[in-house]
Chain A
Amino acid sequence: MYFIDPHVHMISRTTDDYERMTRMGCVAISEPAFWAGYDRGSAASFHDYFRQLTEFEPMRAGWSGIQHYTWLCINAKEAENVSLAREVIKLIPEFLDRPNVLGIGEIGLNKNTMNESTIFQEHVDLAVRMDQQILIHTPHLQDKFKGTHMIVDMLRADYRVQPQRVLIDHVEEHTVRLARDHGFWCAMTLYPTTKCTPARAADIIEQYGDEQIMVNSAGDWGPSNPLAVPDFIQEMRKRGHSETKIKKIVYDNPLKFFSQSKNFRFQAPDITYGTGKP
């Protein structure tokens, strides 16, 4: 089955991973800007990072036949440094017209601090002024419920935000309704340890349905698995869910959400692989 991984940090992965993802049916990915594992020393480092995400990475993905899209921001962890964050936000507009940029992300909260909230709201302001979609990181573990609630509060307080153009990521059992009840899209992240598993993601689908929801691997430099979406497909098949329903979650839904972005020019896989058939 063809799939799209809507959240994976491929700059931290090898070309071999791209190859394995292609063989498993991956046709496109989207890569939000995130924390590199250390705090960067200056805004210039982010400028270089944005160039990597918009120049080299789409080319490298293309070598494996994968279409690469991206989202730009300063992540919540480094947003604690408000003055650096404001310098980085000023750099973003020059990149928004690059052909693989879908919007602003992954913005959000990490430790649910006031500085993080300030920079979150400034990113949202940039997104609505520049007519961009938004991809949101929610905190992990004990911070998640509170942080997701705070994020929803901030989004709802800005009357310009269109919920159907916002994706709230890393939802779990206790936060999925918070996102969906207010009309936002949401995504579940499948981790090999400590967080949501393919089985629990399938449980959430069985409880809350398959509208405005998707799954991703959030593969990065830490323990993670860029083939987590195929694991979810396998879990859904074992339970007897239809191919149509599975495809809706791993392919149709990301396409529908991304299609609201003016830079999203997706090539359906049969065309990509040059069979000559439409």
Chain B
Amino acid sequence: MSSPQTARQILDRHYLEIRSKILDLAASLDRVDRAGKDGTQDDPRLAKLRSGIELLLTPGTDRAERVQMLFSDTYVENWMKK
């Protein structure tokens, strides 16, 4: 099963919405930087966010799933046997 919409229709419908989400991201990161230097630049969460943004520029149809995995704890096989 796939989308009944063409890529063109999807882009027409969502272009301004995607643009606005990019602006939200940009402004949020600006806000963190503008608030000054208090060591936050080394916060691992910022590094995760950066990796997430880089992931958006890779090809594929599973970016959402890969972003989810980036922000997920690791599952340890055989945990029940411990």
B73 within 8 A of A: yes
Residue count of chain B within 8 Å CB distance of chain A: 20
Chain A residues within an 8 Å CB radius of B75: 145-146, 149-150
| Smallest Cβ-Cβ distance to A240: which chain B residue | B4
Chain B residues within 8 Å of A205, by CB: 1
> Do A146 and B1 have beta carbons less than 8 Å apart?
no
Q: Which residues in A have their C-beta under 8 angstroms from that of B74?
A: 146
Q: Which residue, of A145, A157, A208, A210, has the highest number of chain B Cβ atoms within 10 A?
A: A145
B30 within 8 A of A: no
- Per DSSP, chain A at the interface is helix
- Judged by a CB distance under 8 angstroms, whether B27 is at the interface is no
Residue numbers in A under 8 Å from B68 (CB-CB): 144-145, 172-174
Q: Are B64 and A146 in contact (CB under 8 A)?
A: no
| Sample of 11 further A-B pairs with CB below 8 A, known A145-B73, A146-B74, A239-B3 | A142-B73, A146-B75, A153-B80, A157-B80, A172-B68, A173-B62, A174-B68, A206-B2, A209-B1, A238-B13, A239-B4
Chain B contact residues, CB within 8 Å of chain A:
1-5, 13, 61-62, 64-65, 68-69, 71-76, 79-80
